[in-house]
Amino acid sequence: MKSPHPFGAVLARLRREQGYHNAHAFFQSAGGARILRLSYANYLALERGRSLPKPKRFQAIMQSLGLPPGSAQRAELLRSYLASLLGGDELLADLDGGQASQAPAPLRLGEEVARQYMRQRSVNLTMTQWKLLAVNRAAYDCCIYLNESPGLAKIADVAEATGLSVGATREAIKELSSAKLVKMSGERVTSRFTNKVVNLIAMSPQTSGLAACIIRNRHRLLDRSKVVKDWCITTRISRRNLQRYEQHLQETLDLAAIYGDEDKAPDTHVFAFQGRVVEIFP
């Protein structure tokens, strides 16, 4: 039998220490399913160590407990959550400089929680799937929209969102279905990778042509989209330091997915977070 997650025991104890003598009292005080975004039965499963909340729900629980930023209780809850994700507390020693008994800064733990969650959500496409997205622009647009739109979507709604005709959308979705990228049910369709993070195509001499086509499709989609924010900084930097910075930039972009709304609330839209490094002067 699988051992309970240590996060559950810590959550239940901190809940009691905050004055909530039973789980239902805390659940109701926190705003219930409306705020925590999970049912009472699912919350009980968390306290009993049977499951773990997704980072977005974890943050809502921590805020509802009223744990002050920088507090030992907040760090303890973060530590127990990360230990549960990793399957043990031993790997946390690296965050503490080898002192596993001392709680690391909550910010560092929070970042590691996000990275671990991203690793668990990531998926890889097959070469057949990548080829379809490279050569079929309509399929590419529909796939991007559906990946970020949970639940069954009407084909007509997909057409309206992407700017394609209903006929072109239906044909593109049939191609996506044949490639096992989406699932169709009559006039409705859903992505097989909703709430997942699709890893970039592996770069090699054999895939360079496909990658170039994928990038062109992405740029075409971005060029006709509305710019919401545009940040820019210029600096002189060595190639070596540029390579070091690229890793931080990639991690920052990946973390954007943590803030995603998995339920497609009425006020949500699909945004693209883009990282570009452009050489402007020698």
* pLDDT single digits (tens) 46-90: 999 998 888 878 888 888 888 777 778 888 898 888 888 877 665
Q: Which of 121, 136, 151 is the C-terminal boundary of a domain? A: 121
d(CA 149, CA 193) in angstroms, rounded, equals: 10
| Strand boundaries in the chain, DSSP class E | 122-123, 153-154, 182-185, 188-191, 197-198
Same domain, 116 and 180: no
pLDDT at 269: 86
Q: Which of 78, 100, 121 is the C-terminal boundary of a domain? A: 121
d(CA 157, CA 261) in angstroms, rounded, equals: 19
Which residue type, as a one-letter code, is found at position 144? I
Pick from 20-24, 88-92, 172-176, 238-242: least confident: 88-92
In a domain, 251, yes or no: no
pLDDT at 197: 79
Same domain, 77 and 147: no
Same domain, 116 and 131: no
Same domain, 71 and 174: no
Same domain, 14 and 107: yes
Same domain, 44 and 103: yes
Range of the domain at 70: 6-121
Same domain, 133 and 114: no
Same domain, 110 and 175: no
**What are the distances in angstroms from CA 5 to CA 9, 74, 92, 181, 191?**
8, 17, 16, 33, 30
Same domain, 131 and 117: no
Give CA torsion, residues 240, 243, 244, 248, to 10 deg.
160
In a domain, 75, yes or no: yes
Q: Give bridge partners of residue 154 from the DSSP assignment.
A: 188
Q: Which of 104, 121, 138 is the C-terminal boundary of a domain? A: 121
Same domain, 76 and 157: no
Residues 81 and 116: beta-carbon distance below 8 Å: no
| Top-confidence residue, 253 or 227 | 227
Sequence-distant (6+) residues with CB within 8 A of 217 are 133, 134, 137, 140, 141
Which pLDDT band holds residue 207 (cuts at 50, 70, 90)?
A: confident
In a domain, 245, yes or no: no
In a domain, 98, yes or no: yes
Question: Which CATH number covers residue 158?
Answer: 1.10.10.10
Q: How far is CA 24 from the centre of its chain?
A: 29
| Top-confidence residue, 33 or 256 | 33
Same domain, 217 and 166: yes
Q: What domain count does the chain have?
A: 2
